[in-house]
A and B are shown apart, each in its own frame.
Chain A
Amino acid sequence: MEGVIEQVPFDLSTQTVRELNQFLHQPADELAGCEVVVTHPNGAHNIAVGLNAPVHVTVQGHAGYYAAGMNQLANVVIEGSAGTGVAENMMSGRVHVKGFASNAAGATAHGGLLVIEGDAGLRCGISLKGGDIVVGGSVGSFSAFMAQAGRMVICGNAGDALGDSLYEAVLYVKGTIKSLGADAQLEPMTSADIETVSALLQSAGLKAEHDPSTFKRIASARTLYHWNADADQDY
């Protein structure tokens, strides 16, 4: 029957992550109309990794490492906090963390949207390859390290070495930046940037709280793109 959502519960105090992921790895037509609700996650690792269908998953509690890792097409909500590497290498889809995220949130993601309502730890968006990350709180040091493509919106503050070795990803920070990394520079916000930030905040559900025009734009100065002896490059 069209439009019927079937809630499928998984209780990780009695069932295993293996059983959960096995279920979630079924073909898209088997999962159509399912909304999976995971209870008692208790910091278990690898919850909902490698998803490859537009299925909805809610994790009622704290997730361990790599929650929604390598996500493709799925929509995952974590009502607590997430451990290291949430949504790492995500290709598409959406991952939403209501609490805080640990290190390497959204690491090397190629696409999709990662929303973290609280703070994110160090190296948020490290090696980003095209995804979008919106953080309601602050991010730790070395965030956007070697970020190649994609966009990050940080509503709080950024730690040390923001955007170190930045390629073509663009970062927007509302709060203070403890220090910029090698080759990262502040650039003026254009109307296109303001529009981008507005749209991302909207997708994240944070639009009402933050004025897009108060964000700062950080992008690559592109001075490290070619090795050059005379340029005193910071290697």
Chain B
Amino acid sequence: MDNSPCAPKRIQTEESATFDRATLDYIHNAAAHGLYEIRGLGAKRKLPHFDDLVFLGASLSRYPLEGYREKCLTKTVLGTRYATKPITLDIPITIAGMSFGALSANVKEALGRAATAMGTSTTTGDGGMTPEERDSSKTLVYQCLPSRYGFKPDDVRRADAIEIVIGQGAKPGGGGMLLGQKVNPRVAAMRTLPQGIDQRSASRHPDWTGPDDLVIKIHELREITDWKTPIYVKIGATRVFNDVKLAVHAGADVVVLDGMQGGTAATQTCFIENVGIPTLAALRQAVDALEDLNMKGQVQLIVSGGIRTGADVAKALAMGADAVSIGQGVLMALGCNHESYEQNGQRIDATADYAALGARPGSCHHCHTGRCPVGITTQDAVLEQRLQPESGARHLKNYLKTLTMELTTIARACGKQNVHHLEPEDLVALTVEAAAMARLPLAGTHWIPGVGTY
């Protein structure tokens, strides 16, 4: 230690909570590049979520079901309102819309295979329908987005459902984004774009604006499919109560609600973290809206945005969703953020490739670069071989099976013979925020902030 008279006795190393290291990095980066940061995945900050809810399992006043012998049904039907061919799924867990372009063709095939094996659906994304996905996925939901990249009537006719996307949870009010390094020849051809350019997508649909025009657009799609095909309407969570009501008024068979934790392959970080509301809060408002219109059960609700475990699925159903949709979790099951990948039966360490991106397994969000170390969010011919459809499908099927087993375990513990019999009264909250957002009592009390008494 320096003994000169003017030296401080202690060296101050206190970091600012306001200008913390992440913020310093952000400002330095903005000054260097003059452009916002773009990344993949969803909101990373801690938010009130399903972790803040717990179930009231059976005891003396409620009796449980035995595992295995006493059935707990998971069958789920979607799109009963108008369509003559609603969707029947074996489990209430679907695979969310993710584009070919964001993901590789191998991944799309893996998703299809796993979904078919588990009796559920996959969803196309902002780029159109690939033959790999249509051929491998028994039940395929076809998205109609503002960009209309690759959107074709032949695909409309061979889709099992159509999902009109108004927005997604990661960026409600924003359009799609795909950076040049992922616009390879095949992606470019499907999207009718020059190869290698940075794709900017529209945030509004080109031929309709507002629920009064959406009525007519939904009719158009019904006419084109001769009224057979269910029409979903997907919204990013913002003014959920009003939006769900308007979607119902406009004629949706199913509403898909994506909370702010929902992922993306490429969006501005400031958008992901600062626009949209948590899935927990959104879900409660969506159910309120359906009940207010007396449409619960007639219009189904699928919720997405940070669904990770069987417990999350159970909680979402208990709060009133008919099904959940999973995007990020599915990619993680395929190996996203895993230290290694499987190729030709061998496990190969990928840490160096993460490091080359400036990332680490466990915190990587570099989907937008197209250099996914485990071959998922890439169009690179070499990297995409790191995810083989067959092994990918096997991993994903395992994940979905685990989720389903956890879901039914919890449902049975609550005395339910059918996972759709889970109800809000099976849940209590662990924090005041979650209690207020989910409108559930704080554990051990009758208190719902703003509603009940202690």
Contacts and interface: CB of A to CB of B under 8 A. Distances in A.
A45 B219 contact: yes
A46 B451 CA distance: 47
A130 B224 contact: no
B219 A91 contact: no
B292 interface: no
Contact of A22 (B194, B198, B208, B226): B226
B207 A107 contact: yes
B35 interface: yes
A91 B206 contact: no
Interface stretch (A6-14, A81-89, A194-202): A81-89
B153 A52 contact: yes
A75 interface: no
Contact of B224 (A50, A91, A129, A167): A50
Nearest to B183: A225
Contacts of A145: 202, 206
Interface string B184-210: 000000011110011010100011100
Given A66-B220, A229-B33, A85 B207 contact: yes
Contact of B223 (A50, A84, A104): A50
B360 interface: no
A127 B152 CA distance: 14
Given A22-B226, A127-B148, A66 B207 contact: yes
A22 B228 CA distance: 12
A168 B194 contact: yes
Nearest to B156: A70
B192 A25 contact: no
Given A22-B226, A50-B223, A225 B206 contact: no
A225 B156 contact: no
Overall SS of chain A's interface: loop
B216 A110 contact: no
A109 to B, nearest CB: 10
B180 interface: yes
A72 B207 CA distance: 18
Interface in B224-278: 224-227
B207 A226 contact: no
Contacts of A168: 194
Contacts of A167: 193-194, 197
Contacts of B154: 52, 72, 91
A49 B207 contact: no
Interface string A1-43: 0000000000000000110011001000000000000000000
B316 to A, nearest CB: 34
Contacts of A89: 148, 151-153
Chain A: interface residue count, which band? 35 or more
A107 B206 contact: yes
Overall SS of chain B's interface: loop
Contacts of A52: 153-154, 157
A123 interface: yes
A84 B157 CA distance: 23
A229 B148 contact: no
Contacts of A50: 153, 156-157, 223-225
B206 A46 contact: no
A104 B220 contact: no
Chain B: interface residue count, which band? 20 to 34
A226 B180 contact: yes
A154 interface: no
B76 interface: no
Contacts of B34: 229-230
Contacts of B217: 65-66
A66 B215 CA distance: 12
A24 B213 CA distance: 24
A70 B207 CA distance: 12
Contacts of B224: 49-50, 69-70
B147 interface: yes
Contact of B202 (A65, A88, A127, A229): A127
B198 A226 contact: yes
Contact of A165 (B200, B207, B208, B216): B200
Interface in B139-193: 147-148, 151-154, 156-157, 180, 191-193
Interface in A188-235: 224-227, 229-230
A25 B220 contact: no
Interface of B: 33-35, 147-148, 151-154, 156-157, 180, 191-194, 197-198, 200, 202, 206-208, 213, 216-217, 219-220, 223-227
24 contacts: A18-B227, A21-B223, A49-B224, A50-B224, A65-B213, A65-B220, A66-B217, A72-B153, A84-B213, A88-B206, A89-B148, A89-B152, A103-B207, A104-B206, A107-B206, A108-B151, A108-B206, A123-B206, A127-B148, A127-B202, A130-B192, A165-B200, A225-B194, A225-B198
